[in-house]
Chain A
Amino acid sequence: MEFAQIATVAGKEFWDRIRNRWVLAVALVFTAFALSIAYFGAAQQGTVGFRSIEVTIASLVSLVIYLIPLIALVLGFDAIVGERERGSLDLLLSMPITRVELLLGKYLGLAGALAFSTVAGFGLVGLVLSAQLDLAALFHYFGFMLSSVLLGCAFLSLAVMLSVFAADRTRASGLAIAMWFFFVLIFDLLLLGALVVSGGQWGGEVMPYLLLLNPADVFRILNIFALEDVRTLYGLATVFPPALARSDLLGLVMAAWIALPLVIAAWRFRK
């Protein structure tokens, strides 16, 4: 593994996204959403203006959980298949670079662009709010930003995996949309369905662990303040096991969600 080769590919991907203003556009979207949620999020309750960091983060989480997976999937779905379809892959692979280095370079460059726009977009809002936040609240907000980056990286990893498996761009985009529906909409419905059908017997023991099978759910749990909320959120029959809610463990689960699709992609791409 030569790091210089990875860095060259990653650098190109990253600067491509900076130059075509992708990073700027996504950062602006994040800023706009976060600001409006922070100031107008409580409008239904009859007040306008920043209320509390808990309310703000909770609303941001329910937005970001749709948005970031979508952005990450769109960003990464044609990473490899796009080069293959356009016909630039052969030339790239004729260079002194291994396929794994190419794949990693692509991933890291795109992940860098996504992380940069996430941190820039939400970070700006964090700065604006910082005057009204105490240290603990800032810490929570920081945690939200970090977990958003991890969420993006996990879905980007899935997207890059798709881009290795798919035969063409059209199919890759179809798969990306299907993947978004599955993880963001269907997965939780399936769990709830299982809960209802089994009359709640099922939910108790297994359900909290099943939630870890979805990076979007891991992200949600990472950003919850009181454990009791998880229970109500998912309609769990029993309490959520506190051990599962440790952010370091959840962080590890996210890391696995980032690494595993990449490993599968690398295995497939080498063949």
Chain B
Amino acid sequence: MKQAEIVVVGAGPAGLSAAAAAAQAGAQVLVIDENAEPGGQLFKQIHKFFGASEHRAGQRGVDIGHELLEEVEGLGVDVVLDASVWGIYDGSTVAVASQEYSWRVKADRIVLATGATENGLSFRGWTLPGVMGAGCAQTMMNVHRVLPGQRVVMVGSGNVGLIVAYQLLQAGAEVVAVVDALPRVGGYPVHAAKIARAGVPIYTSYSVKEADGDECVEKVTIWRVDDRWQGVPGSEIELDADTVTLAVGLSPMAELAWVAGCRFLHIPELGGHVPVHSAYMETTVPGIYVAGDVSGVEEASCAMEEGRLAGLWAASAAGRLSVAAAVAAAAPHEASLARLRSGPFGAAARGGKLAMDGRRDEAWGQTLTRGGA
């Protein structure tokens, strides 16, 4: 069986950062990703990042992605693409399926950086072709350079909804409307202003009633919702659209942590069920670490800082770095994370991570119904 000191699952911003930090500390690192290209969701993020310059504000995700890749390559990290990890046994054997064969690798330490998956929203017609995740539209237009539709209704006015709506305009689509059930716009005002200036109407306190069409979306009906989230009959507005994009949140993709027997807590602020982890990013299964969206949905900037921490602590646990050296190396990343979570949009994640700390005992008290010991 193949051996690796540290196996990182996922080559997104979190996984690549973890790999870089661990390799810098001298560890032998193997990164596995099921995509044909590394970078995770970074290469579709063509907007400029927010925050301070230390968080690469003003830079676009796609450029940050190229820099990270160069760093990882320069450190001699082994990156295997087109390979899906489908299991973890005994906390240390990683099972992988490549196109033509499957293989296993024995790891001293494992970092899970598998990201998140987009949430759906049910309304009549939500399974019709033309209804898709906002990230799906983002992938198709910014990575594959194909428009997912011509006339788009965006559901959700958080940052992802606003940013992707603007990117749809940049790519040449028409955004018919942005709709949000909440009474006010969820994302940064500057993003909302950009699409409002382009003439896109933003309907707050509105939701989708139904999407109609024979074999694909041809018409979308929205209606006002009251303060108990019930649609108000008579308030319907019909929109001529061929596409509905959903930006209604993400959920951590934590199946691998689950099969490895990690304890979970349900923390809405972090996107749902998350593997319980310490400030060292270690889960309740010793030797298995998490970083990025899988440990709680945030932004790419946070994912990169968490990745650095997970990589450092995994390398330290593998004996590559003294605890004192790891503490010193981790400090700037911890400080940076604290700053990222200090603004109004970071408050939820900060609260979520605190709640997780406070409820660790509860997680240990649960009976595991599946997974390991």
Decide if A and B are genuine partners: no
Could you tell me which B residues sit within 8 Å of A by CB distance?
none
